[in-house]
Amino acid sequence: MSSPKKASSRIRPPVLLINIGQLLTLREPKQHRGPRRGKDLQELGIVEDAAVLCAGGKIVSVGKTHEVLRDPRLKKNPGQVREIDCRGQVVVPGFVDSHTHPAFIQPRLADFEQRISGATYEEIAEAGGGIRSSVEAVRRASRPELSATILAGFKQMNEQGTTTIEAKSGYGLTVESELKSLAAIRDAAANWPGTVVSTLLGAHTVPREFQGRSSQYVELVCSEMIPHAAKQRLAEFVDVFTDRGAFSLEDTKRIFQAAAASGLGVRAHVGQLSETPLEPLLPFEPASFDHLDQVNEQDIRELARHNTVATLVPGANFFLGLEKFPAARKLIDAGVPVALATDYNPGSSPTPSMPFVLSLACTHMKMLPAEAIAAATINGAWALGLENRKGSVEAGKDADLAVFEIHDYRELPYWFAASRCAFSVVNGSIMTNASSSKLE
C-alpha cells in the first residue's frame, strides 16, 4: 500500500544533503542479484565526504559532495533546493522494518508481570493472556481509534530512522475486525509520509469461539478474510503463525493456496516455539520466514538456495528473557539471506527501534555491524518485494534516508538503546525528530 497518489500530491522541494561523513549507499555489489548473502552482507558501499540530491521523492544524484554540487539540476533551480549540511555525520538508507504488528490498542502489562514471575509464553496464552487478550479491545475499537494507535507507532518507528514498515493485522480474528484492522493500517499510512506494506494475519491464533474447531477457522480465513482483503486491496501479503499451539503445516498450505488464488504474496512466522518443517512451504515462494529460532540443517541448506528471506527478530527473544537467540551466524555463513526487524507488538516485542535490534543482532547473534545494517535495509526491502525502490541509496530509488548523530557507522549498534537519529528523509519529505535540535 505505497500510496502513489499521496506521494505525487505532496509538494516536496528538492533536498540536498552535503558533507556526509560516511554515506552507506548499500549499492549493489558487482555481479550480484538477489538478496544479500554471505560476505555480500558486509558490503556497505561507503562514500566519504558524500552528498545526496533528492527531487520529486526520488534520489537523483549520489556521490562525493564536490561531484553532486556540479549536478546541472542544481544550477537550473538555484534557491529552490533545501540544502542541509550533515557536518560529517553518518547517513544510511531509511530502515525497512519488515515485520511489525501495530494494529493493537493496549500494552499487555499483565503478561509482562506474569512472565517476570516465571510464566512462559505458552502458559500465559493458556491462562487467557497472550494474543487473545489483545483481541477484545481491537474488536471493540472503532477504526479511527485503531488507526490513531497505529499512526503513533509509525511515528515512533520513524523517529528511530525507519522509513518503510510492514504492518500486520492479527488481533481481530473475525472477518469484520481483521478487515477493520487493515483499513485502519491504510488510514494511518495515508497520514504518514513513509511507505507501508500491509499483511493480513488472520491466522495469528485460533480465536476462543473456534476452540477445538480450528479447521473451520482456517476455512473462514481462506474463504472470506483473504478474498475480501484482496478484493478491497487492503493487503499485499498473507502471514500465518505456523507453530506449536497455533497453525499446522497443513493449515498453512491451505492458507498459502488461498492467498495465491487471490493474488497475494505469502510469509510465515516459523520456528519460534518449535521446529517448523520449511521445505514443504518453499514451493509457495514465501517472501520471508520469520523468527527461525529453531531450524534444522537440511532447511538451512534449502533456504540458501532460495530467495525467501530469513527475517530475525531478536527483540522478541530479548523481551521474553530468553537465553537462546536465532542462529544468525549459521544462517549467514550457509548463504541464507537474513533480514532484521523489530516485530513491534504488545506481547513479545514492544520496541519501535531498529537501532536497538541492530545492537541485539551484534551482541547476541554475533552479526557484524555492517551485516546488521545490510539486514535492516536492503534485505528488509527484499523481504517486502521492494528491492527496486528501497533499501539502498542509488539514483532512481525512493528518497528514504536516515541521518544519525555519529561519525562511524559502527556507532549505530554500539550506543545501545540510544536515540541518535537526527532526522530522516521519507519519500522526499524531511521528518525532524522532536528530541533533536540538529536541523535548523
Binding residues vs Zn ion (CB under 5 A): 343
C-alpha to C-alpha distances, 88 to 18, 102, 321, nearest whole angstrom: 9, 35, 38
- Rounded least distance, CB 9 to Zn ion, Å: 33
- Comparing CB distances to Zn ion, the nearer of 104 and 409 is 104
Q: Which of 346, 352, 349 is nearest to 137 (CA)?
A: 346
**H or E element in which residue 46 lies:** strand 46-55
Torsions phi, psi for 55 (to 5 deg): -150, 140
Backbone phi and psi for residue 12, each to the nearest 5 degrees, phi listed first: -125, 115
Q: Cβ of residue 64: shortest distance to Zn ion, in angstroms?
A: 41
Identify which of residues 290 and 398 has a Cβ nearer to Zn ion in the complex.
Answer: 290
Q: Specify which residues 412 forms β-bridges with.
A: none
Measured from the Cβ of residue 58, the count of other Cβ atoms closer than 10 Å reads 17
Closer of 91 and 312 to Zn ion (Cβ): 312
Q: Which residue, 159 or 343, is less far from Zn ion as judged by CB?
A: 343
Which residue in the shown chain puts its C-beta closest to Zn ion? 343
CB of 170 to Zn ion, least distance (A): 8
Least distance in angstroms from the C-beta of 102 to Zn ion: 11
Contacts of 153 (CB under 8 A, 6+ apart): 100, 102, 344, 352
Provide the strand spans (E) within 142-296: 162-168, 195-203, 237-242, 265-270, 288-291
Rounded-to-integer distance, Cα 256 and Cα 240, Å? 8
The helix or strand, by DSSP H or E, that contains position 288, with its residue range, turns out to be strand 288-291
Give the closest residue to 16 by CA, choosing from 433, 387, 378, 428. 428
Which is nearer to Zn ion, 68 or 312 (by Cβ)? 312
- Minimum CB separation of residue 27 from Zn ion in Å reads 30
Question: Rounded to the nearest 5°, which phi and psi values hold at 17?
Answer: -100, 125
Cα separation, 183 vs 349, in Å, equals: 23
Place of cell 493480513: 200
302 by Cβ neighbours in 10 Å (0-12 / 13-18 / 19+) ranks as: middle
Nearest Cα residue to 166 out of 157, 178, 175: 157
Which residue's CB is nearer to Zn ion, number 104 or number 423? 104
Q: Which is nearer to Zn ion, 343 or 398 (CB)?
A: 343
Which residue number, 192 or 344, has a Cβ lying nearer to Zn ion?
344
Cβ 101 to Zn ion, closest distance in Å?
6
Distance of closest approach, residue 320 Cβ to Zn ion, in angstroms: 12
Give the nearest distance from C-beta 433 to Zn ion in angstroms: 26
Distance CA 85, CA 89 (A): 9
Least Å distance, CB 141 to Zn ion, is 20
By the 8 A CB rule, do 47 and 31 touch? Answer: no
Q: Count Cβ atoms below 10 Å from residue 190 Cβ, excluding itself.
A: 14
- Which residue is associated with the grid cell 489483545? 134
End-to-end CA distance of the chain: 32
User: Minimum Å distance from CB 349 to Zn ion?
Assistant: 8
* Residue with smaller CB distance to Zn ion, 251 or 343: 343
Beta carbon nearer to Zn ion, 166 or 400: 166
